[in-house]
Structure 1
Amino acid sequence: MRFFLLPISTRRTLLYCQKIQVLPKDKQTIVDKAAVRAAKLWSGWEKKEAGWQKKVVVYGNYLLRRIHFEEWGLKSVPPLSTKRREEEVLGKDKNLLIYPEDIIPTKHAINVLRALGTDREPLHRSRLIWCLIGMPISAPFALVPVIPNLPFFYLMYRAWSHWRALAGGKHIRFLCDNNLLSLSPSPALNSIYTPLFNRATTSKESTADIGETKPLPDNKSKISDEEALLLSQENGRQLVRALEIPELEVELERAIWQVEDAIQKEREQKAKPPDTTKTK
């Protein structure tokens, strides 16, 4: 597998895992087969010109786009099966960690990956529990004729999504704890990120002096008080072409849109005049 650390802003980093080998159908798990079948069904609904299926897809895609990009990143990491664990320990399955060294120094790369894999664990665990609680409550909606029980299926999907995120984080922690990652700084990523980083930041310190202030996933960058966007949609597509990973484009597009929206809302909130009214 190849793990990519792709800074979106001076405070947020996208994790993406590219699986080099795709399992044949006869070796896929039941969960994997169900996911493929659901994707085909969804794709079929998208092709419809009208009807309730089309409306479900339009609204569903809106909701999917708002799922945090950090969750999508963790879901790109496959669960740690017993067989995969053995192969990784024995060195049969090589895992590379790829990143722009000018932005994320090599001495911090593993810590950045570990943080991305573990920081959201409590959130995913609690939301998984709430989804499991909500599924039986929404089950009676199945009595409604014609239209499927959408609330139940949505909660089921979100439960699966949180479980996959937890499983991906567990896999990352295993790799980090057992030193099973080969560090691979990317000159191609450096050539894209370095000018963007220099333009986005106002610090006059040299790269060698600001090691800890590089964009980390814990949103505690010390570069400046205000978060700055690094990637635009245009240079995000440039990054996809440089890495030659077409499937990464949708992940980057979603992450850039979410971070850009979050930065804009934060700026608008700061620009609001303070409320001077006093309640008595």
Structure 2
Amino acid sequence: MRLFLLPISTRRTLIYCERAREAVQGAQQPISERVINKAASTWAQWEKAERGWQKRLTVYGNQLFMRIPYEEWGLKSIPPATRKRLQEIDQGKLDFHCLYPGAFMKPSRVPEVLKALATERQGYHKRKMWTSLAWMPLTIPFTVVPIIPNIPFFYLCFRAYSHFRALYGGRLLEHIMEKNLVKTTDSQQMDQLYTAGLLHPSREVSRESARPAKDAIQEVARTVQGQIKEGKKEVLLLQRWNGKIIAEDFHLPEMEIEIERAVEQVETAMKKTDEAAAQAKSELDDSRSQHTTKVDKAER
């Protein structure tokens, strides 16, 4: 299995796992996979509706999906830590390779980041999973509503399962890190894709341009480090439009939405941080100005 460590900014990182195809031809899929596939096909049909409650539900639902933390989506991409899968890992039947852009992430930080991603949200997902399960019985009265399905119940089911997958995806990542089973690779391909995203203004320009050379990659990496040294606490490393190019380059179309979602959330968080800092600075300046005025009046 391939893991991708994708720094969205100099402080926040998305993990994405390309799962090996587990389905064997002619073999029956697990119940959970069949339920997910059925739900996905139903959702796709509702999205195609021109009007009605199905269309409105998918519009609001997709907006809600974009608000689910990108860290949760990343951990959900990792296979859950079932007893059988952990045994296969310990027996050497599964290999894990982690690719990361070495120009924008120090090799010494990779194990540290992987361990943090694996463990720091386990308590949160466990708590939220049980909370969602506890609320399910309270949605039973909604079953009396004609035609429309019990949306609150299905939403809680989705959130409980989502937290379960994130929790046990994190536990599998923690397990393979404890066993030192992850082979990390400084990917020149990722360096080129990151650099192109920072050099070019749009996806179209990036497609038409040649891949950045090693000198250009190093120059862009130095520029990022220079911004940090100049006092900029966090620097964005990925653009939303670049997600599609990265996904195409690694032949993983499903990765595109994960990157775009993560970039959007990080951009929003950075904007709020900047606004809060600006407001705090403004309040401090006002306070100093008022203090100076009072001192001047007292001296008079």
Q: TM-score range by the shorter chain?
A: 0.7 to 0.9
Contact 1:5–1:16 (Cα < 8 Å) also in 2 = yes
SS of aligned partner of 1:14: strand
Q: Which structure has the bigger radius of gyration? A: 2
Higher RCO (C-alpha 8 Å, min separation 6): 1
SS in 1 for 2:169: helix
Cα drift, residue 104 of structure 1 = 2.4
Report the equivalent of 1:9.
Answer: 9
Cα shift readout 1:134-161 (whole Å, capped 9, x = no counterpart): 1111221111222111111111110110
| Residue aligning to 2:170 | 169
* C-alpha deviation, 1:255, in angstroms: 0.6
Query: Offset of 1:49 from its aligned partner?
Result: 0.9
Deviations 1:108-150 (A, max 9, x none): 3122111111111111111112111211112211112221111
- Structure 1 residue identity aligned to 2:247: V
Query: What code does the residue aligned with 1:168 have?
Result: G
Distance in 2 of aligned mates of 1:224 and 1:247: 36
CA–CA separation in structure 2 for the residues paired with 1:154 and 1:106: 40
Cα distance, 1:185–1:75 mapped onto 2, change above 3 Å: same
Q: Report what 1:20 is aligned to.
A: 20
Distance 2:105 2:91 in 1: 29
Residue aligning to 2:125: 124
* 1:105 alignment counterpart: 106
| Cα distance in structure 1, aligned partners of 2:109 and 2:238 | 21
Structure 1 residues 204, 86: closer, same or farther in 2, change over 3 A?
Answer: closer
Unaligned runs of 5+ in 1: 206-222
Question: 251, 255, 261: which is aligned to 1:248?
Answer: 255
| Cα deviation digits, residues 55-107 of structure 1 (max 9, x gap) | 11000001001100000000000112333223222222211111112222323
Determine helix, strand or coil for the equivalent of 1:148: coil
Identify unmatched segments of 5+ residues in structure 2.
Answer: 196-216, 288-300
CA distance in 1, matches of 2:152, 2:47: 19
Shift of residue 203 of structure 1?
5.4
Structure-2 residue corresponding to 1:228: 235
Amino acid at match of 2:271: Q
Q: Percent identical across equivalent pairs?
A: 41
Distance 1:35 1:160 in 2: 10
| 2-structure distance, mates of 1:236, 1:62 | 19
TM-score by length of 1: 0.85
Give the Cα separation in 1 of the matches to 2:134 and 2:83.
29
Q: Does 1:199 align with 2:200?
A: no
